[in-house]
Amino acid sequence: MENIILQWQIFQEKMMYLGYWDRLMAHLDTIMTIITLGVLLFALMNCFLGHQLMRLWMTVIGLGIGGGIGGYLGLRQFYDKNAIFLSATVCAFAVAIAATVIYRVGLVVLCGGVVFATLELLFPVASMSVHMGFVALGLVAGIAAFERETMVVTWITGICGGLAAVRSAFLLLHWESTVAAVLVGAALAALGIKYQYSQIRKHPPKKKNKTQKKQKTERA
């Protein structure tokens, strides 16, 4: 808890130094509303199109995670706006490219990022140990996708997308019931998973035939 308070103080001091703090506070409600609407849209698409748009989500979440890490590091290390922006941009593209090119990294970024973000949205607590627990659960989910990719990605995007969409809608309506959000989100998740599986049956994911690849290599 003390560490989080310290980090917040550092962030506040840097934003005041850069001249952004007053503007941020003046438009905080509008900014939070726009962010929540963005989360709602992303969550709905993830719920119903998670597996179909898997590569896109890998890139988008990679940009978000990398940008957040780079921005945080930049705020801690630099007092120059351009240096902070450069740090955020470089990290964002580095993680996004890694997630897109290295398939297993992409699975961890996709599943882990979605799980972590959804848990943070549902249970916004200030305990560092809880945050680390969310990170660990996200990593476990991402690694689990190595063996059962279609099933894990479909269920994680469906469940997390449904829960996050309902929670975001409740926040916009100023409803604070986490239990109701979980119940309604579970119903939406069930619809999303059902729709994703219907699309998977229509357009099955292509499976790589290792034998054919070896034969082509030998012929070449």
Residue at 84 is within a domain: yes
Number of domains observed in the structure of the chain: 1
Residue at 212 is within a domain: no
pTM: 0.72
Instruction: Supply the pLDDT for residue 1.
Output: 46
DSSP line for 95-147:
HHHHHHHSHHHHHHHHHHHHHHHHHHHH-----HHHHHHHHHHHHHHHHHTTT
| Terminal Cα-to-Cα distance of the chain (whole angstroms) | 61
Residue at 148 is within a domain: yes
Residue at 158 is within a domain: yes
Instruction: Supply the pLDDT for residue 193.
Output: 94
Residue at 182 is within a domain: yes
Instruction: Supply the pLDDT for residue 18.
Output: 66
Instruction: Supply the pLDDT for residue 215.
Output: 41
Residue at 154 is within a domain: yes
pLDDT in tens, 146-184: 888 888 889 999 999 999 999 999 989 988 888 898 999
Residue at 210 is within a domain: no
Range of the domain at 75: 2-6+32-201
